[in-house]
Amino acid sequence: MPRSLKEAQTWRLLSQVFPLLQTVMTPKPAGPPDGGWGWVVAAAAFAVNGLSCGLLRSLGLALPDLAEHFDRSAQDTAWVSALALAVQQAASPVGSALSTRWGARPVVMVGGVLTSLGFVFSAFARSLLHLYLGLGVLAGSGWALVFAPALGTLSRYFSRRRVLAVGLALTGNGASSLLLAPALQLLLDNFGWRGALLLLGAITLHLTPCGALLRPLALPGDPLGPPRSPLAALGLGLFTRRAFLVFALGTALVGGGYFVPYVHLAPHALDRGLGGYGAVLVVAVAAVGDAGARLLCGWLADQGWVPLPRLLAMFGALTGLGLLAVGLVPVVGNEESWGGPLLAAAGAYGLSAGSYAPLVFGVLPGLVGIGGVVQATGLVMMLMSLGGLLGPPLSGFLRDETGDFTASFLVCGSFILSGSFIYVGLPSALPSCRPASHPGTAPPERGELLPDPQVALLPPGGPHSTLDTTC
């Protein structure tokens, strides 16, 4: 055999073996870095949340224009946002499963393209059915591919400051509402709903570069290959755990009312006698309270002073009470009024809802272990979609039957209060009658896996926030 041919074969063999050796021999960090590139991932997750949930919250401003253009009821147009919300959340486990197979980066980038195409398609809609397909199905599917993978990747980069990092990422919701609500109203006034949707298609395309920033992180204990079955990838086995089952039922009920203000807070302000920009101010006040509370509650939860399940039940109940207050606000005198009572109620709702949001994801490691966080994140979104699909249409139906949104907010607030009451069944949600024995220190993290699945991840403040208590 010629010498040159032997050399070529040798180099070809080395080119195949060397990457494998490099992967095996490259040292992995002992655990999540708790910083570094993790803050870039947090910024990317911040933008992803703003261009998904934040944009969906502001989209309610366009519903009156859609109802007038197509001569349909508030209930019919509410299905546009309800479908987008339901598809985004119901298909989130699919986004988590795809990210475990191919990585979060390509999945989020594809999701950004789908979301943009959904808005562009809807800009040329000739009927509500086109909007259901464009915004509801296509854009909703794109959002389903971006949220859970981005938040799951962020959880891999942090340990001690995980809830704070998640809270920072989730402030993208409030910040986006604060910026996009007046911007969308301006677009509607100057370009109509078609031009506004077309421009929103260009804005949502920025989800693609956000996905490119989700650098994969190799951690000790990572599985050598993807899950062998679709059920394992979706994480449906988590429902066999009692604590997660209680959490699932409560979260589904909370979802029945949590997203109604996303769709009907602005129309409710208009019904209460405020002008277009007065309604924008109401949405903005709720968004500011929401954003600030997510950061503050994230920091508070990481201190370990109060058990996370107890915080979850408490702020869930306050969110339900805030919705009741929003629904009971009286009608203002004229459109030039600032609507002080409604602003106060919206601010209280924003503070409580913002505090609740990071706790939903922050409590997951204590319930399912760090190994199930990525799948559990997608399942949480799916659970909330069960109520999210019901809440906005029910709210629109009650508005059509009663003439205003008072009954809508009262009923949806009751859903949230019911879910918060079920959270009381979680471990450590109630004070113990006697001190429970403290187990040994939890084993160190190994990537997304814990050596013992029976040991929950303990917060930095101590073991009291995840321990079962008995009376």
**HEC profile of the chain:** CCHHHHHHHHHHHHHHHHHHHHHHHCCCCCCCCCCCHHHHHHHHHHHHHHHHHHHHHHHHHHHHHHHHHHCCCHHHHHHHHHHHHHHHHHCHHHHHHHHHHHCHHHHHHHHHHHHHHHHHHHHCCCCHHHHHHHHHHHHHHHHHHHHHHHHHHHHHHCCCCHHHHHHHHHHHHHHHHHHHHHHHHHHHHHHHHHHHHHHHHHHHCCHHHHHHCCCCCCCCCCCCCCCCCHHHHHCHHHHHCHHHHHHHHHHHHHHHHHCHHHHHHHHHHHHCCCCHHHHHHHHHHHHHHHHHHHHHHHHHHHHCCCCHHHHHHHHHHHHHHHHHHHHCCCCCCCCCCCCHHHHHHHHHHHHHHHHHHHHHHHCHHHHHCHHHHHHHHHHHHHHHHHHHCCHHHHHHHHHHHHCCCHHHHHHHHHHHHHHHHHHCCCCCCCCCCCCCCCCCCCCCCECCECCCCCCCCCCCCCHHHCCCCCC
> CA-to-CA distance for 322 and 317, rounded, in angstroms?
9
Q: pLDDT per residue over 390-404, tens digit each? A: 787 788 888 888 888
Mean pLDDT of 254-281: 81
User: In this predicted model, which residue has the larger pLDDT, 447 or 232?
Assistant: 232
Per the prediction, the chain carries an average pLDDT of 78
Mean pLDDT of 245-254: 91
CA-based end-to-end distance of the chain: 81
Residues comprising the chain, all counted: 471
> CA-to-CA distance for 356 and 289, rounded, in angstroms?
12
> CA-to-CA distance for 119 and 177, rounded, in angstroms?
18
Residue 38 reports pLDDT greater than 50: yes
Determine the pLDDT at residue 433. 55
Q: pLDDT per residue over 319-371, tens digit each? A: 999 999 988 887 665 555 556 788 888 899 989 998 998 888 888 877 876 66
Mean pLDDT of 80-87: 82
Whole-prediction pTM: 0.71
Determine the pLDDT at residue 443. 37
Q: Which sign does the torsion angle of CA 106, 22, 370, 40 carry? A: negative
Residue 100 burial (10 A CB sphere; 0-12, 13-18, 19+): buried
> CA-to-CA distance for 122 and 85, rounded, in angstroms?
16
Determine the pLDDT at residue 142. 94
Q: pLDDT per residue over 168-205, tens digit each? A: 898 887 678 778 878 888 888 899 999 999 999 999 99
> CA-to-CA distance for 100 and 287, rounded, in angstroms?
32
> CA-to-CA distance for 420 and 430, rounded, in angstroms?
12
Mean pLDDT of 133-161: 88
User: In this predicted model, which residue has the larger pLDDT, 366 or 427?
Assistant: 427
> CA-to-CA distance for 158 and 33, rounded, in angstroms?
6
> CA-to-CA distance for 201 and 199, rounded, in angstroms?
5
